[in-house]
Amino acid sequence: MTGKDEAELSGLLRTAIAGDERAYADFLHRIAALVRGFVRRKIVQGGVDPEDVVQETLLAIHVKRHTWRPDAPVLPWVYAIARFKLIDAFRRRGRRIEVEIDEIAETFAEPETETVSERDINRALEGLPPTQRSVVSSISVDGHSIGETAAKLGVSETAVRVSLHRGLAAIAKRFGRQ
Amino acid sequence: MRTEDLIKALDADAGKKAMPMGKAWWLAVGVAVAIAAAVFFTTIGPRPDIMPAMHTMRFMSKFVFTLVLAVSAFALIRALSVPGASTRRRMAWMLAAPLLVVLAVVLELFVVPQADWGKRLVGSNMMICMTFIPLIGIGPLAVFLGMLRYGAPTRPVLAGAVAGLLAGGLAATFYAAHCFDDSPLFVATWYTIAIAFLTLLGAIGGRLFVRW
């Protein structure tokens, strides 16, 4: 199962890096489900919301995707980032935990669906400058495209892309600093 | 924001390309060498008798130590800057430089009469050594810490320390061309202290600045 996942997922990310947006969305959805399963099994007591860690991990994967070597397996890379973000989440809440580096747990990481609640990412979003905030929420929460967002805000598509890129980088950075 | 929504935003941002790590590391090394060379040649520069010195074993051995340190640290830091990369073998290679120094020290103790050990160890310019290795290495260290920020080290303190070792190896390579003290006894003592200082600085830098 993991071997097949590995081949499919690294194939998807390679295609995505080559410029296929559809493949990137697919990749992120599948990674989100795997990471959710991994994180939920690691968080046995309360205090840390698994979905916050999932979102932090996705953002980190996105802004650090240039650190993946296309000829290397993708799952060890993904789980290393998830583990780092999980430990970080515990550390921020003043608790030390050891997340063991076990392959077995990863093999059994079944895809899971998300639960809805107030998110850390909303606080990070609110901290953005107004333009970046409206661009990021237009594309994410409202589900508009780059073109629609540009028309709605009365700016160029290039400006929307720049604001989106900076906004996401700022959110990712804020997670790291909290 | 639901995770679904976040994915929409990430997907829309997929077009932005960043330089791959491998290429970025080589670029960083190029910049670091240029900075170290600039500092070295505008301050102390190579010793005047460098040509004849190059025919002596002791002088050349210094470059073996420092270059082995720099190369092994470069290999390790590249792995440490990428999540999930295996580092065990590269860690083991970090022992190469210290082992070579130990070997050279033992040989030196055999060939040099005991009465001269102290003189060889203290040398003639240990203060310059301990000043200029950190001075030449500080710019490269900043470059390497910047690279770690660009990368994604899951062990930032360790990665910062290795950045210090890499900067130290690089700086010591330049400094060795200036230094008149070629005895392994001198190198093992003062070079080590100077490089250890950069390593400590790198670990602190990793702790403070390498967040992602």
Name which of A21, A58, A68 is nearest B14 (Cβ-Cβ): A21
Decide which of A98, A117, A136 is a domain's last residue: A117
Full residue range of the structural domain in which residue A46 is found: 1-117
CA B186 to chain centre: 18
- Per-residue model confidence (pLDDT) at position A102: 53
pLDDT for res A112: 66
Same domain, A110 and A22: yes
Do residues A85 and A160 share a domain?
no
Q: For residue A30, what is the domain's CATH number?
A: 1.10.1740.10
Q: Are residues A102 and A156 in the same domain?
A: no
- Closest chain A C-alpha to B78 CA, distance in angstroms: 10
Three-state DSSP string of chain A: CHHHHHHHHHHHHHHHHCCCHHHHHHHHHHHHHHHHHHHHHHCCCCCCCHHHHHHHHHHHHHHCHHHCCCCCCCHHHHHHHHHHHHHHHHHHCCCCCCCCCCHHHHHCCCCCCCCCCCCHHHHHHHCCCHHHHHHHHHHCCCCCCHHHHHHHHCCCHHHHHHHHHHHHHHHHHHHHHC
Distance from the A65 Cα atom to the nearest Cα atom in chain B, whole angstroms:
8
For residue A97, the model assigns a pLDDT of 55
Which residues on B lie below 8 Å from A81 (Cβ)? 83-84, 152, 154
Same domain, A27 and A69: yes
Q: Which residues in B lie closer than 8 A to residue A121 (C-beta atoms)?
A: 1, 6
Which pLDDT score, from 0 to 100, does residue B5 have?
92
Residues on chain B touching A72 (C-beta within 8 angstroms): 84-85
* Residue in this structure with the two tokens 């099994």, named with its chain if needed: A41
CATH number of the domain to which A128 belongs? 1.10.10.10
Tell me the pTM.
Answer: 0.90
pLDDT computed for residue A177 by the predictor: 64
* CB pair distance less than 8 Å for B1 and A168: no
Q: Say if residue A41 is in the same domain as residue A92.
A: yes
- The verdict on A107 and A125 lying in the same domain is no
pLDDT in tens, B118-169: 999 998 888 999 999 999 999 999 999 999 999 999 999 999 999 999 999 9
Residue with tokens 């170290």: B36
Q: Are residues A89 and A10 in the same domain?
A: yes
Which of the residues in chain B have pLDDT under 50? none
Instruction: Give the residue numbers spanning the domain of B143.
Output: 19-209
Cβ atoms of B147 and B24 within 8 Å: the answer is yes
| Residues A178 and A104 grouped into a single domain | no
Residue with tokens 């028309």: A151
ipTM: 0.90
Under 8 Å between Cβ of A172 and A59: yes
Q: With an 8 Å Cβ cutoff, is A31 touching chain B? A: no
Query: Cβ contact (<8 Å) for A145 and B1?
Result: no
Residues B86 and B155: their CA atoms lie apart, in Å, by 13
Helix (H) / strand (E) containing B109: helix B96-111
Q: Are residues A124 and A105 in the same domain?
A: no
Give the number of domains in chain B.
1
B20 touches chain A (CB under 8 A): yes
Mark the ranges of chain A whose per-residue pLDDT is less than 50.
1, 103-104
Q: Two tokens at B5?
A: 């929504």
User: Is residue B111 assigned to a domain?
Assistant: yes
The three-point CA angle A28-B6-A145 to 5° equals: 100
What does the pLDDT look like over A148-175, one tens digit per residue? 999 999 999 999 999 999 999 999 988 7
**In degrees rounded to 5, what are phi and psi of residue B81?**
-85, 0
A64 and A39 inside one domain: yes
- Would you state the structure tokens that stand for residue A53, as one six-digit string? 């860690």
Q: Under a CB-based contact definition with an 8 Å cutoff, are residues B177 and B53 in contact?
A: no
Ramachandran class of B112: left when φ > 0, alpha when ψ lies in -120 to 50, beta otherwise = beta
User: Least CB-CB distance to B2: which of A114, A161, A168?
Assistant: A114
Q: So what's the pLDDT on residue A48?
A: 83
